Structure 1
Amino acid sequence: MSPLANSHPYFRLSNQQSHGACLCGSPLLSQFHERMMADVSRRQFLGGMAGVMAMFAGLHAPSVLSEQPKDPNAPLLLKNLRLFDGNGGPLRDDVAIRIQDGRVQALLSAGAEPGNAKVVDCGGRVVMPGLIDAHWHTTLAAISQLEAMTADPGYVHLVAAREAERTLMRGVTSVRDVGGPSFALKRAIDQGIVSGPRIFPAGAMISQTSGHGDFRMRHEVPRSSGAPLSEQERQGVAVIADGEAEVLRRTREQLMLGASQIKLMAGGGVASVYDPLDSTQFTERELRAAVEAAGDWGTYVMVHVYTPRGIQRALRAGVKSIEHGQLADEESVRMMAGEGAWWSLQPFLQDEDSNVYPDAARRESQRMVAEGTVRAYEMAQRFEVNTAWGTDILFSPKNTHNQLRHLTKLTRFYDPLTVLAMATGRNGELLALSGPRSPYSGQLGRIEPDALADLLVVDGNPEQGLEFLNDPDNNLRVIMKAGRLHKNSL
């Protein structure tokens, strides 16, 4: 790296962990994806999608291979258990769960006969739905900023695939990807080439010029109307759209590629250099263009935004999910509740999991967001807003293993069963907003007849607390996705 790059403010955070406020506007994203996606494009040219998928070949988990029955569709009967069904109610100990063909076939009485099903004795443990992270960057979480800039692109792909497996082995069976080219990894997981959670992809983040997803360098500005797209736009990290016509085009392109929902940048961020935290991005007409295009395909728009003005503008345009929003005021929260929108909050608390910034301005923005987080959870409850849980871990390989710690923190604001319901049944309702664009057919986040059989058997009592989730290696005894046992240490 040149001395100029070493002195540039973009590169001063390369060795620091990154979590605690959204980093999707970090200029280093362009460096990362120019390298990673260029390799994907080369492989697609040389060998089609098979060339890309070959990068993942052989990354199956030994635990999966060792635990799978000869007939993965053979029925299972889970007995001797306490059931948390994802609805937030008290645990039940009067049921058994029959699984077949990847779904919950029935909830039976505790003494039900197994018939032709293989019996799994849960030893009196709690059975709960698989967890859902509603704000996850599948390809960006486990790679450091420095590695993203300098590593071989194949290495970056392998890290993403490995982290997908680790995510599943933490009990997170579904994620809503909120920006970036996750389509190939999703396909590899769905085809069984690698192990990982279900992915609801948003594709490229859509940003206005100078917005939170404009990753160009200063020397690339200005751009004429006929100029080619930037590298990060061509590779599907983020796309710049100014005016209703461009927003329509970029939204429709992501839908064409398979997005289950659309992500727009409607305000500034903490980590970004060019767009201040208090900035409002996209006009209401531009936001509405994306909302209408997504609605025509039966799905919805989510927006990155923090401020009351940005939140209210997005809601007036018909946006269904507010990502972050920690600076919301009462009027904004009342409006969210009245519109039935979702508030996708993350516990940004300026604690051990937070970003470390070298400059006072971003540290002050971070402090404002942390203080707003406490107010946000209080107002979300007071005004009964639909609230989702997510983590937004970015460029932090040392922090991904603490993914579930970002869930247990919420017991500061809610009782444990309410928190668990948020990360299962309630997040499943949010995923269902994708409607016909959902990649998966069936109910997620709940254990009920005909729901997808994503479930965990745990050592721990969620009626008393969720600390057991901080050690998933030891406390998650069974991890099942679509009826397939990815872990069984009973």
Structure 2
Amino acid sequence: MCLSCLQPDPQTGARIDMCLCGAPLTQAAFNRVSADLDRRRFLGGTAAVLGLFAGFGLGPGHASGQDAGRPILLTNLRYFDGTTLRMQGGRDILIEGGRIKALVPTGQGPEDAKRIDCAGRGVIPGLIDAHWHTTLAGVTQTQAMAADIGFVHLMAGREAGATLMRGFTTVRDTGGPAFGLQLAIDRGVLPGPRIFPSGAMISQTSGHGDFRLLNEVPRAAGDLSHSERVGVAAIADGRDGVLRRTREQLMKGASQIKIMAGGGVSSLYDPLESVQYLEEEMRAAVEAAADWGTYVCAHVYTSAGIQRALRAGVKSIEHGQLADSETIAMMRDEGAWWSIQPFLADEDANPKSDPRQEAKQLEVAEGTIRAFEEGRASGVRMAFGTDILMNPRGTISQGRQLAKLTRFMAPLEALRMATGAAGELLGLSGARAPYDGRLGVIEEGALADLLVVEGDPEKDLDWLDDPRANLVLIMKDGAVVKDQL
């Protein structure tokens, strides 16, 4: 136990309920310090180690929450409720206990409420990125595949705070070791979005999640690759293998399962058009997830892979930019979700250094425009995601990528994909959802994740490109984490 364990937070009076001194990296540092220094210097070393965490943005987050038992009332506003395609007025938003208690007629809120005057600005639900990689977005490919996993987690902790400040109060993590970061955020150790974790991406041998080098093939029985040991991927073949790896992710706390059902852009050895996993193997993951009350999402681009995944019972198609009309209609008829990203050949594309990756990336970009247009026209359920991957310079484009959807649809329709629609997709996790309550909507009983914006969401979404200036208030779970009003 360290001094930080014993002292209450000077600003809030609260104690940290999971001290960082118990973390493996901290313990290793303590051991090195204690081997060389006396007791007096050891205490100084303790402060230095905790300072290291603070330098990476991993100190306890401070949010301006509600006064004890006192509700918050947002007044003088227009709001987008996450589903209705128009801004609404004539209501104030009453928040209590981390939830939206009521939408009350203007001027009729309780007298004891703490009032926040929005000065006529727009209020929208906190944004949801339905395809995010919490531990893999803010590092390079070399770092993700070869760096010490402690460094990767520290960078993820720093990026989590930045994600929240971009207005994304919730992310669905579609692959990677995000369980520890989720726990730290939920316990208030550091700021960040709500995380719906998938755990390791489950892949067949040679599939999109098989990150081994050619000189590592074949492997001895039971020998795990680096990406498997650290929880990025899980290579599994056959029904029994897929069942085992799926159940392991559920045991760790996965809210949904992610499988690789087709070739990818970032991987070097699998063709983009390859179909991965037999239907019976996919069905094994679907059945294991269903036994725990949740669902499977599948990385896949092509019609053949999408159709096989749908027949196996997959509920969420990730990417799908190369789907034909028949396949898009099948997604609609099966009631599946299409988690789609604005993959365009522009400045925000994930960087690729290999010509094979670049060629696949261009092929996907060429299919993106048609996919958005035909998907929207067909009536398939669509949710927004970015899939910013191993691109530390690109994470700042998260909001800008949502704004790009206005190329294909009206601003509020695009915003709905990242709020109410994405919240419905998260609801497929059922009892495995980490948070009890509706997300992505402004309605009575919903979780109080809200943004006050400097811009007109009915006119455009360009204001998302500068969240520092244009997100003047960010609220998560009823606590104000940014206030520039």
For the criterion TM > 0.5, the same-fold answer is yes
**Residue 157, structure 1, aligned to residue 153, structure 2:** yes
Matching residue of 2:138? 142
Pair 368,453 (structure 1): closer, same or farther in 2 beyond 3 Å: same
The one-letter code of the counterpart of 1:389 is F
Partner Cα distance (1:462, 1:78) in 2: 18
Question: 1:10-409 maps to which residues of 2 (within 5 A)?
Answer: 65=62, 67-71=64-68, 74-148=70-144, 153-224=149-220, 226-409=221-404
C-alpha distance in 2 between matches for 1:139 and 1:207: 18
Is the alpha carbon distance of 1:88 and 1:113 closer, same or farther for their aligned partners in structure 2, counting shifts above 3 Å? closer
Identity %: 59
- 360-369 or 425-434: which moved more? 360-369
Normalised to the residue count of structure 2, the TM-score between the two structures is: 0.87
Q: Please state whether the residue corresponding to 2:76 is helix, strand or coil.
A: strand
- CA shift, 1:216, in A, is 1.4
For the residue of structure 1 that corresponds to 2:119, the secondary structure is strand
Conserved? CA contact 2:60–2:190, under 8 Å: no
AA paired with 1:341? A
Q: Cα gap change, 1:44/1:222 in structure 2, threshold over 3 Å: closer, same or farther?
A: farther
Cα offset for 1:62? 9.7
Cα distance in 2 for partners of 1:146, 1:238 equals 16
How far apart are the structure 2 equivalents of 1:61 and 1:263? 28
Q: Secondary structure at the match of 1:180?
A: coil
Do the aligned partners of 1:57 and 1:194 also contact (CA within 8 Å) in 2? Answer: no
The CA deviation at 1:215 is 1.3
- Contact 1:81–1:126 (8 Å) recurs in 2: yes
Give the distance between the partners of 2:102 and 2:66, measured in 1 at CA: 20
What letter corresponds to residue 468 of structure 1 in structure 2?
Answer: W
> C-alpha offsets along residues 92-143 of structure 1, whole Å, 9 cap, x if unaligned?
1110010000000000001214321111111001011000000000011112
**Whole-angstrom distance in 2 between the partners of 1:214 and 1:151:** 17
CA contact (8 A) 1:300 1:434 kept: yes
In structure 2, the residue matched to 1:456 is 451
Do 1:96 and 1:108's aligned partners in 2 also have CA atoms closer than 8 Å?
yes
Aligned residue pairs total: 445
**Cα RMSD over matched residues?**
2.4
Residues 64 and 485, structure 1, Cα contact 8 Å, conserved in 2: no
1:417, 1:462 within 8 Å by CA — same for their partners in 2? yes
The more displaced of 212-221 and 178-187 is 212-221
Question: Larger relative contact order (C-alpha < 8 A, sep ≥ 6)?
Answer: 1
Deviates more, 1:140-149 or 1:392-401: 140-149
Is there any run of 5+ residues in structure 2 with no aligned partner, and where? 1-22, 31-48
- TM-score (norm. length: structure 1): 0.86
Q: CA deviation at 1:363?
A: 2.9
CA distance in 2, matches of 1:267, 1:172: 28
Cα distance between partner residues in 1 of 2:356 and 2:209: 20
